[in-house]
Amino acid sequence: MTETRGARATEAFFGRRKGKPLRERQAAHLEHLLPLLKLDLEAPAPADLTALFPEPVERIRLEIGFGGGEHMIHRAAEDPATGFIGVEPFVNSMAKLLGQIEAKAIRNIRLYDDDATQVLDWLPAASVDQIDLLYPDPWPKRKHWKRRFVSQINLDRFARILKPGGLFCFASDIDSYINWTLIHCRDHAAFEWTAERAADWLTPFAGWPSTRYEAKARREGRSSAYLTFRRA
């Protein structure tokens, strides 16, 4: 893919924004439901993020690049006491998730449809209990590694918004990205890897419902690592 000037309007999003034409219902969801659930980054973030949600929540969890949204919908449905913020710039994925939110009458999800770095910079310091980065775009070619979402600067962002003891959970099926993330977190003073034995990173996170990309990885014969880092 050739990159042209202006093709990259955001700092950390390099993917496609649109896929197949949307069905009428999906387009209607984007037009009418998304504005009700979308974070308004023009206004300052509330000092207490629980104010973003219509019903009381006790924890805040951020999912970056939710794709098909299976994971976030599952977690939000099983845990109404957590407020979820989901970020996904790919329009078709956002439309799919909105359909699920409506069908399942889910009330504890708020959304943003552009580069997650914008949300990270908007969120107050020490305001988030957990960040999920599940199967981020792997950028396997070395010349593209600098596009990976895990970077020194984004770990600084994670460190700022996570509460002390908050978690950064990362899953990937790409060995070079798993090693990349381990090295970046090892070199970052704010993060400690919680694993004590191999089973800790080979076993999916508790209650894991899997994701679409994970299913694809399995079909193609790749296994995964599940890394949990604690904000020191």
Ligand X SMILES: C[S@@+](CC[C@H](N)C(=O)[O-])C[C@H]1O[C@@H](n2cnc3c(N)ncnc32)[C@H](O)[C@@H]1O
How many residues make contact with ligand X (CB under 6 A)? 24
The single residue listed with the structure tokens 């957990």 is 130
Does residue 208 contact residue 143 with C-beta atoms inside 8 Å?
A: no
Q: Does 178 bind ligand X (CB under 6 A)?
A: no
User: Of 92, 100, 108, 211, which lies in the binding site for ligand X, with binding defined by CB under 6 A?
Assistant: 211
Q: Does 64 bind ligand X (CB under 6 A)?
A: yes
Does residue 149 contact residue 133 with C-beta atoms inside 8 Å?
A: yes
Catalytic residue among 113, 129, 132, 137: 137
Q: Does 84 bind ligand X (CB under 6 A)?
A: no
Q: Which range, of 41-49, 59-67, 74-82, 193-201, touches ligand X by CB under 6 A?
A: 59-67
User: Of 49, 88, 101, 159, which lies in the binding site for ligand X, with binding defined by CB under 6 A?
Assistant: 88
CA distance 208 to 202: 13
Q: Which range, of 41-49, 60-68, 77-85, 98-106, touches ligand X by CB under 6 A?
A: 60-68
Q: Does 83 bind ligand X (CB under 6 A)?
A: no
117 a known binding residue? no
Does residue 112 contact residue 119 with C-beta atoms inside 8 Å?
A: yes
Nearest distance from C-beta of residue 55 to ligand X, angstroms? 26
User: Does the annotation mark 137 as catalytic?
Assistant: yes
Q: Which range, of 24-32, 121-129, 130-138, 186-194, touches ligand X by CB under 6 A?
A: 130-138
40 a known binding residue? no
State the alpha helices, DSSP H only, in 38-126: 70-78, 91-103, 116-122
Nearest distance from C-beta of residue 196 to ligand X, angstroms? 26
State the alpha helices, DSSP H only, in the chain: 24-28, 34-37, 70-78, 91-103, 116-122, 152-161, 175-186, 198-202, 212-219
Straight-line distance from the first to the last Cα atom of the chain, in angstroms, rounded to the nearest whole number: 40
219 a known binding residue? no
Which residues are paired to 134 by β-bridges?
Answer: 171
CA distance 163 to 77: 23
Q: Does 115 bind ligand X (CB under 6 A)?
A: yes
> Whose Cβ is closer to ligand X: residue 65's or residue 83's?
65
Q: Which of 93-118 are b and which e, b meaning 16 or more Cβ less than 10 Å from the residue's Cβ?
A: bbbbbbbbbeeeebebbbbbbbbbbb
User: Of 87, 101, 120, 185, which lies in the binding site for ligand X, with binding defined by CB under 6 A?
Assistant: 87
**Binding interface with ligand X (CB under 6 A):** 12-13, 15, 64-68, 87-90, 93, 115-116, 134-137, 149, 211-214
> Residues comprising the binding site for substrate?
141, 173, 211-214
Catalytic residues: 137
